[in-house]
Amino acid sequence: MTTATMRTLRYPPSTIVAGLEWLAPARKHPGTGSDMHWHAWGDDDALYFVDDDGKNFDLPWNFAHLLRATGMPPDVHLEEVSAFPELVRPASAKFRRYVDGALAVGSRLYVAAYDYDDDEATARPFWFLDAVSRHGGVASLMYSDDYGRTFQNAPDPAVEAPYFLGPNFAGLAFVGFGPGYTGVPAFLGDHVYAISNDVNWESGSHVRLARVPKNRVLDRAAWEFYAGEADGLGEADAVWSADESAAAPVLSDPGHVGHPTMTWNPGLGRFLLAFGSDAVPHTFDTTEEIVRATWHQRRELCLYEGPTPWGPWGLVHYEHAWEGDHVAYLPQIPPKWLSADGRAGWLVFSGDYGHYVEDPDHSFYAFMTRPFRLRLVSAG
């Protein structure tokens, strides 16, 4: 692993949470071998995790999976509910389709089908395109009324239709609240909220925010995009626009915003915003020699807190060598696994895609969890 000094971040330290402490090493859930783990808390009190490439519990490999988790860590029962047989990838190599954006509203589950844009005009080999994974867009929001056993509204792989949401919202992650999307603070109204980074999977520059009424999730005309000011650095009015291109950042960290996730912490009355990134931004103008020498050598982890989904943000934790030699990514904090006082919880993440194939027991390419405690400023 390369050595480097810690970056200076533009957001001030939190005045509420003094820091994060790990309570134990990261743990791999036995039998799992897929990544990403976008989550939704169902009205049946189960957590549903949307995964991408891999295989679990000796089931066949697939590019999309739905896992169901019951219980509390470390005693979690995890099972695969579906491998999304309804979702078929387009024949064109340009569109590398996956799933993200898990959401539960009442008993209905939603999952986004999204694309990475592997434009062959770049004349780059697949390993390079995979490392960049440039955002394409959300092709559709699929839904299930039987807790994930079957899904409706899968995109037609033979039709190159306009995206439901464009590249600035391709990495869709719905803000986590209570089971079935209950427990939303009154000031946020009867909406669901979603965030995404831009550019590519782990080297974006901004986090943007969208919302839609709970009963109109599939109605694209009902979606609105945060268009306020301040970039999460100060207090700002919540301004909403129907124009997706008007969406303004709620946080910016050029080249260092991987797929972000956000969770409401009712015990603290704050939102937690988490994302990771490669220490070296992934760009198409990087030579392959430099890529092989510098990418995937060190990962960063950022955790912020704020009173609203648009900030202002205070830095809780910055780890400039997250999980050491492992290639860790996509940190998530399931709201169900937060303590009642909001001071403890479990981080879910992935790692090591394309790495450690010679030693699968060492690989973090699995359902990874790690317990943490938040130190409050007032508590020291």
Return the pLDDT at 378. Answer: 81
Residue 2 domain flag:
no
Residue with tokens 């999204």: 114
Return the pLDDT at 5. Answer: 67
Cβ-count burial of 58 within 10 angstroms (0-12 exposed, 13-18 middle, 19+ buried)?
exposed
Rounded Cα–Cα distance for residues 278 and 297 (Å): 8
Residue 285 domain flag:
yes
Question: In which band, very low, low, confident or very high, does the pLDDT at 169 lie, cut at 50, 70 and 90?
Answer: very high
Rounded Cα–Cα distance for residues 149 and 111 (Å): 12
Give the best-scoring range by mean pLDDT among 122-126, 151-155, 359-363, 376-380.
151-155
Return the pLDDT at 355. Answer: 63
Q: Would you list the DSSP string of 215-252?
A: GGTT-GGG-EEE--SSTTSS-----EES-GGGPPPSEE
Return the pLDDT at 379. Answer: 56
Over residues 307-355, the pLDDT tens digits come to 999 999 999 999 999 999 899 999 999 999 999 999 999 999 999 987 6
Determine which helix (DSSP H) or strand (DSSP E) holds 271, and give its type and residue range.
strand 270-278
Residue 26 domain flag:
yes
Query: Looking at the 3D structure of the chain, how many domains does it have?
Result: 1
Residue 12 domain flag:
no
Over residues 98-124, the pLDDT tens digits come to 999 999 999 999 999 999 999 877 778
CATH of the domain at 283: 2.115.10
Judged against a pLDDT cut of 50, whether residue 1 lies above it is answered with: no
* 281: containing domain: 17-375
Residue 5 domain flag:
no
Judged against a pLDDT cut of 80, whether residue 159 lies above it is answered with: yes
Residue with tokens 């509203």: 105
Residue with tokens 């200076």: 8
Rounded Cα–Cα distance for residues 1 and 21 (Å): 23
3-state helix, strand, coil in the chain (%, to 5): 10, 40, 50
Mean pLDDT of all residues belonging to the chain: 94
For the entire predicted model, the pTM comes to 0.96
